Amino acid sequence: MTDYRALNRANWDERAPAHAASPDYAVERFAADPAYLSEVVRFDRPRLGDVTGLRGVHLQCHIGTDTVSLHRLGARMTGLDFSGASLAQARALAERAGAAVDFVEADVYDAPEVLGAGGFDLVYTGVGALCWLPDIRRWAGVVAALLRPGGRLFLREGHPMLWALDESHPEGLLVVEHPYFERPEPLVWEEPGTYVSTEVTFRHNTTHEWNHGLGEVVTALLDAGLDLTMLEEHDSAPWVALPGRQVKDADGEWRLAERPWRLAQTYTLQARKR
């Protein structure tokens, strides 16, 4: 079986410089404005609460824009990602932004071994992260291992209902085509583009991904020793999830142009370690 990590890492390594150069990630704005926060963190800031002084880890941090944003809100942040090219961009961003953030290269499943167990007040992970992982229960164990007792998980993620849709249906209908629940076999995608504006042509376009039902995520966390403290579903996403069928609001979120209440696109979940 082809190693999903090698395939997916090649995809992210190739796209990291293009993402950092794209206006959608606003790297220049981060460098120029010390108060600037990513749109993702700004959206959930009312839910995030005060993070001043918390020791936090951002799992699957990519080029670090959300990680630096959490640092700017007062947390002592570490970012972890398996893509060395992504972390090179993250370190460059942190240096330009004057942000004292540590970035560590490792697979997310190895995070407790690499970073140490029980040392974090906050585990943060965000949009488009869980779909790259084949086993949600193993991921929940990682979160529990990283947190100190009383520490919390903050997750904003694409809704599994959104991931199950056929985004390219020729008639523009919302049609359920892909698995909602976690399956042993991956969804294999061959997609030449990326989710930000760029003129770059890519060569590494094959990825392996998995969906995880909302109940599967919650149950995995409960079984790993965390208690749910928030679960809020949103009718918007911070990227164009359904091309041609969404409109952008003033906060940078994309909703269905017609009857947006039909579809949960993302959710915010918080849980605390017992």
What gap in Å lies between CA 126 and CA 58, rounded to an integer? 8
pLDDT at 48: 97
pLDDT at 194: 86
The percentage of the chain sitting over the pLDDT mark of 70, rounded to a whole number, equals 99
- The residue among 143, 157, 111 whose CA lies nearest residue 220 is 143
pLDDT at 200: 86
Residue 272 has pLDDT above 70, yes or no: yes
pLDDT at 183: 97
pLDDT tens figures, 93-139:
999 999 999 999 999 999 999 999 999 999 999 899 999 999 999 99
pLDDT tens figures, 39-50:
999 999 999 999
pLDDT tens figures, 205-220:
999 999 999 999 999 9
Residue 238 has pLDDT above 90, yes or no: yes
pLDDT at 145: 98
Residue 173 has pLDDT above 50, yes or no: yes
Residue 235 has pLDDT above 90, yes or no: yes
The token duo for 81 is 């990602």
What gap in Å lies between CA 237 and CA 254, rounded to an integer? 5
What gap in Å lies between CA 115 and CA 99, rounded to an integer? 20
What gap in Å lies between CA 38 and CA 86, rounded to an integer? 17
pLDDT at 2: 62
Q: Would you call 59 helix, strand, or coil by DSSP?
A: strand
pLDDT at 34: 95
pLDDT tens figures, 4-62:
999 999 999 999 999 999 999 999 999 999 999 999 999 999 999 999 999 999 999 99
Residue 1 has pLDDT above 60, yes or no: no
Exposure b/e, 3-35, CB count within 10 A at least 16 = b = ebeebbbbbbbbbbbbbbbbebbbbeebeeeee
Mean pLDDT estimate for the chain: 95
Q: Would you call 45 helix, strand, or coil by DSSP?
A: helix
